[in-house]
A = this chain, B = another copy of it.
Amino acid sequence: MSKTLIRGGTVVTATELYKGDVLVEDEKVSAIGSALTIQADRTIDASGKYVLPGGIDVHTHLDMPFGGTTSADDFETGTIAAAHGGTTSIVDFAIQYKGQTLRQGWENWMTKAQGKAAIDYGFHLIVTDLPEKLEPEMDAMVAEGVTSFKLFMAYRGVLMLDDGSIFRALSRTAENGGTICMHAENGDVIDVLVRRALVERKTAPKYHALTRPPRAEAEATYRAICLAEIAGVPIYIVHLSAAEALEKVTEARDRGLPAYAETCPQYLFLSYANYEEPGFEGAKYVMSPPLREKGNEEKLWRGLAGNDLQAVSTDHCPFCMKEQKELGQDDFSKIPNGAPGIETRMHLLYDGGVVRGRISLNRFVELTSTSPAKIFGLFPKKGTIAPGSDADIVIFDPGKKHTLSVKTLHHRVDYTPYEGREVTGRVETVFSRGKVIVENGNFTGRAGAGQFLRRKPRTS
């Protein structure tokens, strides 16, 4: 049995903050103490550092086909980038294409991850087609540890489900303990606006945003919550971007409903103004929902500080400007939707949140790790530092400043939306199930070492 002792750091969990030692035996945390007197194989001095639970990013799109191209990171480059950024688990999206069984969708993505993922990974399953006869397969997926399903209220003809199918899916998870993740935008309205914009020869990237109004997100958010309420089941809204949509979540939570939502760093640090960068630069930020007007981000921060938003994920869905984003040079609707973020999440949130005093250090851990672990059936295996938990640990230097740049990031895409941004706080050492996989800025892990996360269903 291998023993590693992380000594003298400040251990931070969603609740605690104490100076202490953490003992790792093989893949697990076996003890924490004020001053453990243990003979370890390796001792790491963490004094002056934070010892944090590894980050969990529950919204990534690796190796995903989209609009005739494929997201630029596969499970190898994507998870190595994640590890550099302090993230030790992801939940990616497998897609059931129309006509496929759910299992086919899942297995397809299992194959993509197999032998490549450097950190542990689970899957949500995107359901694009739900005839009644497939409903029982939802139960089977939950039994396999694929306990969450993503549905779309947008992209008619491609990903969108009608309200009846959505409601049946929700009702099914009410029984089987699964969780529905919702892309909440009114796609039909957006389709009309896009068509109208193109007819009027409004083709620049900014029209991507101007044809996806915040009220269309608020509408779909409320609709999703209502359908879940009628079905008697929790709901999880993905990548919430607009203050108007947040209000609907707040209102639901005030009524006592189990409505959850995540936001992403792009909605906290960027804004509509980015679409007006010169030339075709705005394409970097073409994602759905789009970046919103300045002012929304303060409300999202408030939602994070309170408990109206429960997680910060990335929606990492990278496309290179060259050859990929360029597909939409003459028509914003052809720009592949998405942007990279898997590696920058923890650094951005620590700097913008903790350093700037918007959220506490405990809340930072909760939002990036504990809370998503609890919502998606990974806790307490993941999401905390406690006896018996997986030793997914980040040693974090709270004072170290560095600058985010595509030159130093490890993702396989030719830009970062945060180019040149200086942040305080740096991921120093990263453990994945007891093994050091990042040290001194070097990846010391192994592609393929990541394991599939068979997640637990909801119990309430």
A binding-site residues for B, Cβ under 8 Å: 11, 13-21, 23, 28-36, 156, 162-164, 167-168, 171, 186, 188-189, 191-192, 213, 215-216, 218-219, 222-223, 226-227, 229-230, 250, 253-254, 256, 302, 305-308, 357, 360, 366, 370, 380, 384, 386-389, 460
Contacts and interface: CB of A to CB of B under 8 A. Distances in A.
Given A229-B215, A253-B306, A357-B460, A23 B13 contact: no
* Identical copies in the complex: 4
Nearest to A460: B357
Given A18-B387, A32-B33, A189-B164, A226 B216 contact: yes
Q: Chain A interface secondary structure, helix, strand, loop or mixed?
A: mixed
B30 A387 contact: no
Contacts of A13: 15-16
B387 A20 contact: yes
Given A213-B230, A302-B256, A386 B188 contact: no
Contacts of A216: 226, 230
A246 to B, nearest CB: 10
A171 B189 CA distance: 11
A259 to B, nearest CB: 11
A366 to B, nearest CB: 8
A14 B188 CA distance: 41
A249 to B, nearest CB: 11
A32 B305 contact: no
Contact of A305 (B17, B256, B389): B256
A216 B366 CA distance: 34
- Between A20, A163, A305, A366, the greatest number of chain B beta carbons within 10 A of the residue's beta carbon is seen for A163
11 contacts: A15-B370, A16-B384, A19-B387, A20-B388, A23-B33, A32-B387, A163-B186, A167-B188, A215-B230, A222-B223, A306-B307
